[in-house]
């Protein structure tokens, strides 16, 4: 008998049969209070059969995994509306912002720049990392692409954390509670005994 995990067929080239000896993906069924050294929050794993998983933090205990978990970074506590410490020139890929964060806490999140005046330029960028808060209460945020317009610093910016840094099971578990109006993140693979555990959730 020939063993294999899946057949992957790429249009334009021959199909590939994945043998039994391919690397194990048992790790997507594990949970831990310690982040896996190989993965960052929001990392995506695609299996040969097409299933897609994201690495996330469940900020409450998941007692039944037949329900999807939801994004939980809410506006009042998950979005920081803050100010740039200085004007930002066109073409820069890092900005200084007043805020209290640990190193790379915002990695995988997003940043919106609001500009006042007639030359209004809304700019949206991904965050690839940030420094820890310095003695002046500021951090440097590193962006995934350069800004296409200057920002005079006279309008606020919004810093959104990585959406996968807080996913939760609904307390109503299928009923109608306020949290059920938040977006669905994915289906957890496993249960979590306590809050703030790292796990993989299936998104596709």
pLDDT tens per residue, range 184-203: 899 999 999 899 999 999 99
Q: Six-digit token pair at 80?
A: 């920081």
Least confident residue range of 4-8, 71-75, 93-97, 198-202: 4-8
In this structure, the number of other CB atoms found within 10 A of the CB of residue 148 comes to: 10
Two structure tokens written together for 52: 């897609």
Region of residue 21 (phi > 0: left; psi between -120 and 50: alpha; otherwise: beta):
alpha
The residues spanned by each domain of the chain are: 31-78+166-204, 80-160
Question: Residue 179: which region, alpha, beta or left (left: phi > 0; alpha: psi -120 to 50)?
Answer: alpha
| Mean pLDDT across 71-95 | 76
May I ask the CATH class of domain 80-160? mainly beta
Q: What is the pTM of this model?
A: 0.79
């Amino acid at each position: 008998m020939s063993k294999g995990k899946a057949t992957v067929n790429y249009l334009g080239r021959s199909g590939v049969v994945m043998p039994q000896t391919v690397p194990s993906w048992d790790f997507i069924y594990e949970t831990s209070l310690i982040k896996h050294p190989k993965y960052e929050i929001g990392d995506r794993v695609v299996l040969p059969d097409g299933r897609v998983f994201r690495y996330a933090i469940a900020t409450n205990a998941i007692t039944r995994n037949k329900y999807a978990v939801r994004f939980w970074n809410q506006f009042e506590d998950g979005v920081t509306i803050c100010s740039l410490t200085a004007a930002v020139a066109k073409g820069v890929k890092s900005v200084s912002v007043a805020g209290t964060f640990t190193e790379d806490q915002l990695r995988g999140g997003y940043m919106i720049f609001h500009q006042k005046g007639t030359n209004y330029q809304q700019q949206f960028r991904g965050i690839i990392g940030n420094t820890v808060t310095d003695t002046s209460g500021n951090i440097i945020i590193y962006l995934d692409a350069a800004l296409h317009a200057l920002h005079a610093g006279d309008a606020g910016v919004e810093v959104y954390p990585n959406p996968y840094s807080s996913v939760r099971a609904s307390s109503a578990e299928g009923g109608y509670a306020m949290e059920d109006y938040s977006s669905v993140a994915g289906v957890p693979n496993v249960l979590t005994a306590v809050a703030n555990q790292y796990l993989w959730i299936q998104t596709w």
